[in-house]
Structure 1
Amino acid sequence: MDYSSYQIEDFLTDDSFIAYCYAENAEAIKKWENIAAENPGIVQFINEARELCLLLGIKVGAAEKAAALDHLKLALEEVAVEEEQPESRIIAMRSYVMRWIAVAAAILIMAGAFTVYQLNTNPTGAALYSAANDHNYTLIGQTKAGERKFIHLPDGSTALLNGASSLKIATDYNNHNRHLLLTGEAFFSVTKNKHKPFVVITGKTATTALGTSFKVESYANAEVASVMLATGKVKVECTQPDLEVADVTLIPGQKATLFKGDKVFTQTSFDNNDLQNWLNRKLVFKDANLTEISAKIKTMYGITIAPADKAGDGISFTGEFSGKDINEVLEAIGFTNHFTYKQDGNTIKLLF
């Protein structure tokens, strides 16, 4: 039998699993120990279901269950052969049916509640960030300024890493958690797994999702950090406990921004075209001044244009770029505005 798709409620309605939880017979214990050994991916679920079983005291005797089922079968058979039944028989049959429906419903409800309990008692974003180090996180992707990298994660999720960024995953990623440590900017498409929340941790924010897609921006020395939600729902926390910033929940089309020094997230809507342009690396300028050009280049490439002298006040540019690197963009803008530039790491200085 394939147990890989078992959910908590499946375990709790399996007689042999209940017997295993209560160590009632050697055969059940051996069976589930073998299942755990052969299916390491469900060991966590087995442990969670066992914990819930003992917590709820789910233990219905085999004799009791067999007797109830026999009565139920008999009642159903009598329904089939009798056109009319005494009211007492109908009540008895309903009693058995409703009893077992109630038991099954209680198990399902409690299993769901247990999942919610787990999600709500996970470590805070601040705690996760403070505990992150080179021993429990491994680097899986890094980009230079202006470079992008597409990363496949072990659970099937993906990350599009923007320029001047790095991404680390927990050493036990997809075993007990799905925690990632991001510096810079990335777009994530998350495979659903309600038992293992997907958490992107940065020096400023922690974004938690079960299955969704969103973009996180949090460069080390930037004055601002943000999360843009494309699909699903996410919770965004501040990872700096001294700021005491309240968590926010986003729905598609919303953006949470944390400005340096603020003690609250700013929630706004965003144009989905802006996110699509970012994903497609498309820049659109219409009579853009240097401030707008600098902001879009920072968002697209993770590169900062250093404050320019007075000559920069007269810059204006109209045009589009798709999939171009930073050098092609700046050379085109510089040609029409009579400047050259010099790049030093993640910073560009304009020369007039």
Structure 2
Amino acid sequence: MDYTNFNIEDFLTNESFVNYCYDTNDDDKKHWENVILTQPLLKKQITEARELCLLLGIKVSKAEKQQALNNLKKAIEREQLQSTNITKGKVRRLWFARIAVAAALLVFAMVYSIYKYTSPVSGAVLYSRVTDASYHIVARTNFNGRKKVALPDGTIVILNGASTLKMANDYNNNSRHVVLTGEAFFEVHKDKDRPFVVLTSKTATTALGTSFKVSSYSTLKTASVMLVTGKVKVESTRPHSNINDQILVPGQQVTLADGASGFIKSNFNTTKLQNWIDGRLIFSNANFAEIAAKIADIYGVQVAANSKDTSKIKFTGQFDNKSLTEVLDAIGFVNNFTYRQKDDRIKIVF
């Protein structure tokens, strides 16, 4: 189908397009991705219409959004039905009906335009704009290593194992946006005119000048944000979830699980986070569960073993800024096991 004559309002009242925006129908998603591919001149217009759908999903409830769209569709259907049985006496009424529908769409578009250019862009919309063409990889780590990265504005990032950090191509010009897969600690250089935003598949964390840790591994079902200094706003990047934003003060954290209806806010142990920053592991006659939990916390990898054998494992010792391989080799030597690694998962072998 040729959508050349479609405007933003036409896209918005198209059920297939709405399904594409909210990723509720695979066939519709494939259809509109194909439209973008085969009709590249429509890409900008489709992107703007999709942003509008996402904004609607964030600012109003799903029921309210659906009711508004249904009302608009009914008004258009009534106007179209009347147009099939036009009589001379009904021309004036039909004309007014058309004016009413057009006016509603015009006001809707004007409100959207004002909102778009005067309000901060939501985390969900920012994440929807992330593409390989607009972001590039700054640093990537394997399961065994960490990296300390300095961004162009002076922001310092400690990137944990099995993690990837991408940066917007216009970083430090018009914006300061990065995309994280995995886990990292950020010491953000203060800039009141350009908020620093960390985007993940689950969360968007916005700050001016502060320090915080973000965790969002693709293999885990939860994401978290821990705040050390300053203040941050944490949003969900799932546009149709209607999850309330959270403001954190130092010592607070939020977690978001797959399928959850909201963030869970709590306090965290600052010493534990400092140990993470320093790469410090302390074990005192630790059993397997304690060892696996601390390794997951420091290195972001999951350690598994046959449950029948884990009762044999005990370890006492301390590691300061050591690689995961060095830690596992030492614990394995004492407990007579080796291990296999695949991506961010470790399998203990006796």
Q: TM-score range by the shorter chain?
A: 0.5 to 0.7
Q: Match for residue 176 of structure 2? A: 178
Deviates more, 1:195-204 or 1:342-351: 342-351
Q: Match for residue 315 of structure 1? A: 313
Q: Match for residue 81 of structure 1? A: none
Instruction: Tell me the CA shift for residue 345 of structure 1.
Output: 2.8
Q: Match for residue 265 of structure 1? A: 263
* Pair 1:328–1:119, CA change in 2 (3 A): farther
Distance across 2 between alignment mates of 1:327 and 1:126: 37
Distance across 2 between alignment mates of 1:119 and 1:281: 43
**Aligned with residue 164 of structure 1, among 157, 162, 165:** 162
* Pair 1:186–1:118, CA change in 2 (3 A): farther
Unaligned runs of 5+ in 1: 1-116
**Aligned with residue 246 of structure 2, among 245, 248, 271:** 248
* Pair 1:118–1:282, CA change in 2 (3 A): farther
Q: Match for residue 324 of structure 1? A: 322
Q: Deviations along 1:2-34, whole A, 9 cap, x unmatched?
A: xxxxxxxxxxxxxxxxxxxxxxxxxxxxxxxxx
* Pair 1:265–1:135, CA change in 2 (3 A): same
Q: Match for residue 346 of structure 2? A: 348
Instruction: Tell me the CA shift for residue 118 of structure 1.
Output: 10
Q: How does 1:207-286 map to 2 (within 5 A)?
A: 207-286=205-284
**Aligned with residue 147 of structure 1, among 141, 145, 148:** 145
Instruction: Tell me the CA shift for residue 145 of structure 1.
Output: 0.9
1:302 paired to 2:300: yes
* Pair 1:244–1:118, CA change in 2 (3 A): closer
Is 1:237–1:248's contact at 8 Å kept on the other side of the alignment?
yes
Instruction: Tell me the CA shift for residue 121 of structure 1.
Output: 1.8
Q: Deviations along 1:268-314, whole A, 9 cap, x unmatched?
A: 11111111111110011223222221121122112211343311134
Q: Deviations along 1:214-272, whole A, 9 cap, x unmatched?
A: 01010112111111111000001111123322111111111111122221111111111
Q: Match for residue 91 of structure 2? A: none
Q: Aligned Cα RMSD in Å?
A: 1.9
Is 1:340–1:351's contact at 8 Å kept on the other side of the alignment?
yes
Is 2:141–2:159's contact at 8 Å kept on the other side of the alignment?
yes
Letter in 2 for 1:188: F
Distance across 2 between alignment mates of 1:245 and 1:340: 43
Letter in 2 for 1:237: E
Distance across 2 between alignment mates of 1:180 and 1:119: 22
Distance across 2 between alignment mates of 1:133 and 1:338: 46
Task: List 4+ stretches of structure 1 deviating above 4 A.
Answer: 117-120
Unaligned runs of 5+ in 2: 1-114
**Does 1 or 2 have the higher relative contact order (CA < 8 Å, sep 6+)?**
2
Q: How does 1:62-73 map to 2 (within 5 A)?
A: none
TM-score, normalised relative to structure 2: 0.64
Letter in 2 for 1:244: N
Instruction: Tell me the CA shift for residue 332 of structure 1.
Output: 2.1
Letter in 1 for 2:158: L
**Aligned with residue 331 of structure 2, among 323, 330, 333:** 333
Distance across 2 between alignment mates of 1:128 and 1:118: 12
> Which secondary structure does the structure 2 equivalent of 1:199 belong to?
strand
Alignment coverage as a number of residue pairs: 236
Distance across 2 between alignment mates of 1:349 and 1:148: 21
Q: Deviations along 1:312-338, whole A, 9 cap, x unmatched?
A: 134232221111111221122223323
Deviates more, 1:141-150 or 1:341-350: 341-350
Q: Match for residue 189 of structure 2? A: 191
> Which secondary structure does the structure 2 equivalent of 1:243 belong to?
coil
Q: Match for residue 133 of structure 1? A: 131
Letter in 2 for 1:350: I
Is 2:166–2:180's contact at 8 Å kept on the other side of the alignment?
yes
Is 2:145–2:324's contact at 8 Å kept on the other side of the alignment?
no
Q: How does 1:29-108 map to 2 (within 5 A)?
A: none
Letter in 2 for 1:329: V
